Amino acid sequence: MKKRNLAKGLGILLSAGLIAFSTTIPVQAEEDSAMARGGQLYDKWFAVIGADKPKDTHKSWPASNTKKKGNATWRCKACHGWDLRGADGAYASGSYKTGIRGLREFDGGNPADVVAAVKDSTHGLGMIPDADLADLALFVTKGQVDMTKYINSDKSVNGDPAKGAAYYNTLCVGCHGKNGEKPKDMSKSLGKVVSGNPWEGLHKILNGQPDEAMPALRALPIDIAVDTLAYTATLPKDK
């Protein structure tokens, strides 16, 4: 009788464990997917939701920056940077210098605060559907990566290019080609893009490219993305 009860008890525990296991994986997968999509919205929200490109320069774009105008000024990354550090990060100088602060303070924060900020009079992005804003807020509060750990101020990457070669040649080569020269409509080769702006490269490796069939590696260990970035930076920069 004791053995029978023990077996029954173990069966219940095993079943409970399997149920928990089976429900945890889909929830995590769904969250990773939403964060990656949020990263694409952060990149170029109007491409992701199929909205028309804004024609006018954003009303809150600083007058001190005369190098950018039109739809480029409506992208979250334009002010806050690919590293989400704003004026304290890679956009402290260059054509996207605005003096606007980053979003690192929202890391681990309340998504509702992000949604409220996006809808306020400064940002004026209340036209973005609520479901999309939820993904964007999830990215900002739970999907941030401290890029200072992986990318140095001189644009060098703290990754292993040898390992990255294996990842690139199995995950990326089909679309980008062995030398990073594809797709043909890219204005610059992949090597030139990534070596010039590794922060953008890491963001897109993790989250994908807006309105493109580029896979996001967010669900994989971060080292895979960083190693892939390190290898991609070594590709030819002819174009």
Least confident of 8-12, 151-155, 204-208: 8-12
Look at residue 129 and tell me whether its pLDDT is greater than 60: yes
Question: What integer pLDDT is reported at residue 25 of this predicted model?
Answer: 55
Q: For residue range 25-42, what is the model confidence (pLDDT) as tens digits?
A: 566 778 999 999 999 999
Tokens of 170: 């199995």
Q: What band does 187 get if pLDDT is binned at 50, 70 and 90? A: confident
Q: What band does 136 get if pLDDT is binned at 50, 70 and 90? A: very high
Tokens of 114: 């992000």
Average pLDDT over residues 70-96: 98
Among 3.30.910.20, 1.20.120.450, 1.10.760.10, 3.30.1330.60, name the CATH number for the domain at 145-239. Answer: 1.10.760.10
- CB pairs under 8 A, 24+ apart, for 49-57? 49/128, 49/129, 49/132, 50/211, 51/127
Look at residue 44 and tell me whether its pLDDT is greater than 60: yes
DSSP state of 155: S
Q: What band does 142 get if pLDDT is binned at 50, 70 and 90? A: very high
Question: What integer pLDDT is reported at residue 99 of this predicted model?
Answer: 98
Secondary structure class of 151 (helix, strand, coil): strand
Q: Which residues of 176-191 are buried (b: 16+ CB within 10 A; e: fewer)?
A: beeebbbeeeeeebbb
Q: What band does 7 get if pLDDT is binned at 50, 70 and 90? A: very low
- Give the integer Cα–Cα distance in Å for 141 and 105: 9
Average pLDDT over residues 57-77: 98
Question: What integer pLDDT is reported at residue 171 of this predicted model?
Answer: 96
Question: What integer pLDDT is reported at residue 27 of this predicted model?
Answer: 67
Q: For residue range 209-237, what is the model confidence (pLDDT) as tens digits?
A: 999 999 999 999 999 999 999 999 999 99
Q: What band does 18 get if pLDDT is binned at 50, 70 and 90? A: very low
Domain-wise residue ranges, the chain: 28-144, 145-239
